[in-house]
Chains A and B, each alone.
Chain A
Amino acid sequence: MREITVEQITEAVKRMSIEAACDLPEDVEKLLKEAVATEESQFGKYSLEKIVKNVELARAEHAPMCQDTGIVIVFAEVGQDARIVGGSLNDAINEGVRQGYQEGYLRKSVVRDPVLDRKNTGDNTPAVIYTELVPGDKIKIQVLPKGAGSENMGALKMLKPAEGLEGVKDFIIKAVTQAGGNPCPPVIVGVGIGGTMDKSTLLAKKALARQAGQPHPNPKYQALEEELLVEINKLGIGPQGFGGKVTALAVHIETYPTHIATMPVSVCLNCHAARHKEAIL
């Protein structure tokens, strides 16, 4: 069995937490720069120019591009032939978050209880951790610090199968319309279809871990992604909600088989600061 130490995991999570906050991945930056050229609205273009300038400044100064450095979502794919030594996986991840948010001067934005005792935990832990057991002897860790401005605009609906493709499209468009200028558009639209209630929301979130703009492998879903992107950009919401042609940078759909009686659809929006990093140990 291949051994991976908790120190390696902590170090990787720490490094990715800081990098994610300060260094926007190229895939997202590329789409933002294209959007500057596409956008026609005065305030939309102004916003996009500032956003691109901010990305460059944040990278140069190692400063967080957004003050909402998020709650950390971690997707860990653990090879079933890998052995984690020295402690637990969850503790190792949370220690990485703790160290990263402290040493990287990132904002601590997690409260210890959602309703009755909203006291800040002071170290941005715990992360939201999803672990999947996969073949192999490696561990793949994806880190997505998620801001709440966009997260608050997520939506889920349990559609009837009879509502069909039109029902799916309507719901996604409605979710983006209702979000309006709140989630810091231009957004990346994560869509999860199928499975169960919980599975569809997880798929929608996982869709955001994809390289921005990378199409779905199935040509039919790729066409649906393209169609939805066009329709969303007709809504006129525009960058920051000021009106314009670029409301979304990309639509990512993930699917899963589902029950004969149901068709769950979830929408998870990511702001233009679509931060994601990954490492393979």
Chain B
Amino acid sequence: MTNIKKITTPLTDEVVKGLKAGDQVSISGVIYTARDAAHKLLTEAIQAGEELPVDFNNQIIYYAGPTPAKPGKVIGSCGPTTSGRMDAYSPLMMEQGLKGMIGKGPRSKEVVEAMIANHVVYFAAIGGAAALIADSVKEAEVVAFDELGPEAIRRLVVEDYPCIVAIDSEGHNLYELGVQQYKIVD
């Protein structure tokens, strides 16, 4: 794992297409946190034809709800949450131009199909390595749904945020490939 691909946001189709399942990546630039409650509100706004508080075109959503920042710190511990809970909302977000998602754990068939159709990449970060991950967050600011507390949408500026391409835009899936490789059938 010596070849780390460095990418910056916003993403382009070319960059997304160049990323393959199993690539180790470091992300720099702006990413947006959103998790369960924020996705619910975003979906309701889209369905009502309202303007979204953030333009997600070519952006990355990070499924995360950080701990409060201690004095002098930019952010608290800030690891990924389980992505599967956002599966119901993700295809609609991709239709809004979303190009990348960061989380942990496998995604549904519907999400992978929408990723292929919309040229989107899914990155996995290490769940539970939240203190370590916080080091790559350089700025953090709530930009929507402040009332949701830890679930508010935050605009993060990250530098060399480490993750792995778990599912690429062609549907190659590290969760399936890796498990197949190590499954032992007696």
A residues lining the B interface (CB < 8 Å): 40-44, 46-47, 50-51, 53-54, 57-58, 61, 63-69, 105-109, 118, 120, 122, 148-149, 152, 180-182, 184, 234-238, 240-245, 271-273
Q: What residues of chain B have their CB less than 8 Å away from a CB belonging to chain A?
A: 1, 22, 37, 64-70, 76-79, 81-82, 84-85, 104-106, 124, 126-132, 134, 148-151, 164, 166, 174-175, 177-186
Contact A241 B105 (CB under 8 A): yes
Alpha-carbon gap, A240 to B174, bound state (A): 11
A42-B1, A182-B82, A236-B183 known; A242-B132 Cβ under 8 A:
no
Chain A residue contacts of B1, Cβ below 8 A: 42, 46
Query: A54-B131, A122-B149 given as contacts; is B76 within 8 A of A67 (CB)?
Result: yes
Measured between beta carbons, the chain B residues less than 8 angstroms from A238 are 178-179, 182
Residue in B128, B178, B179 whose CB lies within 8 Å of A66: B128
Selected contact of B130 from candidates A65, A118, A241, CB within 8 Å? A65
In the docked arrangement, what's the CA distance between A244 and B149, Å?
Answer: 36
In the complex, what distance in Å separates the CA atom of A65 from the CA atom of B134? 10
Chain B residues with CB under 8 Å of A61's CB are 131
Give A61 Cβ to nearest chain B Cβ, in Å.
6
Which residues does chain B contribute within 8 Å of A41, judged by CB atoms?
A: 178, 181-182
A43 to B166, CA, bound (A): 11
User: CA–CA, A107 to B182, complex, Å?
Assistant: 36
Determine which residue in B64, B181, B185 has the highest number of CB atoms from chain A within 10 A of its CB, and name it: B181
B126 to chain A, nearest CB (A): 5
| A149–B174 touching, CB < 8 Å | no
The 9 closest A-B pairs by CB, nearest first: A243-B178, A236-B183, A236-B182, A234-B184, A54-B129, A184-B127, A58-B131, A54-B132, A182-B105
Q: State the Cβ distance, A135 to closest chain B Cβ, in Å.
A: 38
Shortest CB-to-CB span from B86 to chain A, Å, is: 12
How long is the Cα–Cα vector from A69 to B81 in the complex, in angstroms?
12
Assess the A120–B126 pair: CB atoms within 8 A: no
Instruction: Please judge, given known A-B contacts A50-B126, A242-B174, A244-B178, whether A235 and B105 are in contact too, CB under 8 Å.
Output: no
**Interface contact A106-B183, CB-CB below 8 Å:** no
Are B149 and A108 interface neighbours, CB within 8 A? yes
- Specify which of B22, B66, B128, B150 lies most central, judged by the most chain A CB atoms within 10 Å of its CB: B128
Sample of 11 more A-B contacts, CB < 8 Å, known A44-B178, A54-B126, A180-B105? A42-B1, A58-B131, A63-B76, A66-B79, A68-B79, A68-B81, A149-B127, A152-B82, A180-B106, A234-B185, A242-B164
Contact assessment for A43 and B164 in the assembled complex, using a CB-CB cutoff below 8 Å:
yes
Q: 27 A–B contact pairs at CB < 8 A? A: A41-B178, A51-B129, A53-B129, A54-B129, A54-B131, A64-B67, A64-B130, A65-B131, A66-B130, A67-B77, A68-B79, A105-B68, A105-B69, A108-B149, A120-B151, A149-B81, A149-B82, A152-B82, A182-B82, A182-B106, A235-B183, A236-B183, A238-B179, A238-B182, A242-B178, A243-B175, A272-B128
A236 touches B180 (CB 8 A): yes
A43 B148 Cβ-Cβ under 8 A: no
Contacts of A245 in B (CB 8 A): 182
Contact between B131 and A63 (Cβ–Cβ < 8 Å)?
yes
